[in-house]
Structure 1
Amino acid sequence: MGTPGEGLGRCSHALIRGVPESLASGEGAGAGLPALDLAKAQREHGVLGGKLRQRLGLQLLELPPEESLPLGPLLGDTAVIQGDTALITRPWSPARRPEVDGVRKALQDLGLRVVETGDENATLDGTDVLFTGREFFVGLSKWTNHRGAEIVADTFRAMAVLTDHPYASLTLPDDAAADCLFLRPGVPGVPPFLLHRGGGDLPNSQEALQKLSEVTLVPVSCSELEKAGGGLSSLCLVLSTRPHS
């Protein structure tokens, strides 16, 4: 795997944002979410950060929690990153649009080329976008419209395959099994790592993932944060500041 701090494969950094007290009330962004156990949510978030840093060897950057941004920990919704380019999204909910400001600055400070969505007719949620290595799959949903998908294709000069549900093209036993992050190694002889929801959260997915050969599984729980829509891919952004060959 390499030692902590070296970064895993093509990824060198991970970005997360702390859990504010305002998320626990269930009134975050006027969403009418169920109340959370704040201490448990913060503990799960801390474990996630620790595994990104210590187990996967990424340099961890954590934005401070902001009480005015109760859904701020879901910062995976705020950007689509490929290579050295970061597309800043335009969340469907106006209450969530200020979340992009801190993420934009952090990515600029890391030296990424930052592109704005721009079009006021577009809505785009970063976790509706999946890059396979060759093409982008964009799930059209309440949060992402057709114009948002077009901007993804235009920004990365790539084919954007539209689906009526995120990750619909993946052959997984259930939608929950897609709640994982795949980190490809760049070092010969190092197996791929899959950061995924643990068996306690998703037992069926755990059984399916164990069938993958030559992949090291790194389980992590986010069962409390899931109540606020915090799937694993929503809770962090992984990126590289290194030149891509």
Structure 2
Amino acid sequence: MAFKYNYAIVQRIPKSFAQKYPKINVDQANEEQETLVEILRQSAIDILEIDVEERHPTSPFVDDTAVIINNIALMCNPYGNRQGEVSAIRQTLKRQLGMKVAEISIDGAALEGSDVLFTGKEIIVGISPHTNEAGATCVAKTFPEYPVTTVTVHRSSPRRPATPR
């Protein structure tokens, strides 16, 4: 199954990002994001830009805020104090794209969109420090037409370069 994308949602990198991620070169990240946006535009993708929100340094990670399949958006409950990010995306999806929006329906459910993979035939949810089984259950309830499989995601240390033999 080939996917056809019409829209991309981006949020520019706030200055507060540098305090949260001091090892990342923010100027380089901005350049890379600009390159990505230009490539998307050249590919006939409409870009929806969310206003920069200094109170939310992780806001450029828009993929954590919603799982979107077949014009239905399940709003996530990402790790930490990120509900302001979810609100901005929710408004964009409703008002600008007219999507049906579903909410997390289980108390204590944790779900980040970046832990979810849609193959076109099934949904794979990674159980991680930021997504739990209750979050996976919310995905299954929202998209009952697709089987949902969970896998445990272990944090690993950064990969070391291979040693030549």
What's the TM-score bracket when you normalise by the shorter of the two chains? 0.7 to 0.9
* Aligned mates of 2:50, 2:39 — CA distance in 1: 17
Deviations along 1:106-162, one digit per CA (max 9) or x if unpaired, are 000111101011433100010100011111000000000000000001100021101
1:41 aligns with 2:35: no
Out of 14, 19, 23, the residue aligned to residue 13 of structure 2 is 19
* Aligned mates of 1:41, 1:146 — CA distance in 2: 33
Structure 1 unmatched ranges of 5 or more: 1-7, 167-175, 177-245
Instruction: Tell me the TM-score normalized by structure 1.
Output: 0.59
Q: CA deviation at 1:48?
A: 1.0
User: Partner of 2:130 in structure 1?
Assistant: 143
* Aligned mates of 1:18, 1:118 — CA distance in 2: 30
Letter in 1 for 2:26: L
User: Partner of 2:74 in structure 1?
Assistant: 87
Q: CA deviation at 1:58?
A: 0.5
1:101 aligns with 2:87: yes
* Aligned mates of 2:73, 2:92 — CA distance in 1: 11
* Aligned mates of 1:38, 1:133 — CA distance in 2: 34
Deviations along 1:197-234, one digit per CA (max 9) or x if unpaired, are xxxxxxxxxxxxxxxxxxxxxxxxxxxxxxxxxxxxxx
Structure 2 unmatched ranges of 5 or more: 160-165
* Aligned mates of 1:9, 1:76 — CA distance in 2: 17
Letter in 2 for 1:76: D
Aligned length: 152
RMSD after superposition: 1.8
Mapping 1:1-245, distance limit 5 Å: 10-25=4-19, 28=20, 33-54=21-42, 56-93=43-80, 95-109=81-95, 110-157=97-144, 158-165=146-153
User: Partner of 1:195 in structure 2?
Assistant: none
User: Percent identity of the aligned residues?
Assistant: 36
Q: Secondary structure at the match of 1:21?
A: coil
Q: Secondary structure at the match of 1:142?
A: coil
Contact kept in structure 1, 2:105 and 2:138, CA below 8 Å = no
Q: CA deviation at 1:9?
A: 5.7
Q: Secondary structure at the match of 2:16?
A: helix
